[in-house]
Amino acid sequence: MAVVSMMTTKGGAGKTTGTLILGTVLAEQGASVCLIDADPNQPLMKWAKDANIPPSMTIIGDVTEENIIETIEEQSAKNSFVIVDLEGSANLSTGYAITSSDLILIPLQPSKLDADEAAKTLKFIVRQGRSSGKEMPASSGRAYPRPM
């Protein structure tokens, strides 16, 4: 149903943490949730090894540019929410994921570096939207003017 992607071109901004918090809260409220670990470092899969995962949550790893679109489609047909934890770069895999998303969240820490990377990420999202002919619903957690 709803697909949310966590994206920023900077590592350490809180993509995985945000994915876990959002997914866990939704699952604890009774929603069926799938977390997709599309980061080559597989942080969600590492977390899942020792975690007490809510029964209505599944976590899928080993997602690459070759299978990310199909994985998102399959899981969105089975779950109320699909949350995609993307790697910290702008590449084909992230491009595919965000064009399949209903919402793109850009987490950032309170630093100039994170703000600069969030702006770079937003520009990538806008370009991806233009190339796909789709308006890309992105947010850094605060209001911003829509790009022209």
124 Cβ contact list (under 8 Å, min separation 6): 9, 90, 94, 95
Predicted confidence at residue 54, as pLDDT, reads 93
pLDDT at 145 over 70: no
Buried b (16+ CB within 10 A) or exposed e, 2-26: ebbbbbbbbeebbbbebbbebbbeb
Ranges of each domain in the chain: 2-139
Mean pLDDT of all residues in 40-48? 94
Q: How far apart are CA 98 and CA 139, in angstroms?
A: 12
Whole-Å CA distances, 133 to 19, 89, 128: 27, 22, 8
Predicted confidence at residue 62, as pLDDT, reads 92
**What single-letter amino acid sits at 123?**
K
What is the per-residue pLDDT across 62-119, written as a single tens digit (0 to 9) for each? 999 999 999 999 999 999 999 999 988 888 899 999 999 999 999 988 889 988 988 9
**Which CATH code fits 2-139?**
3.40.50.300
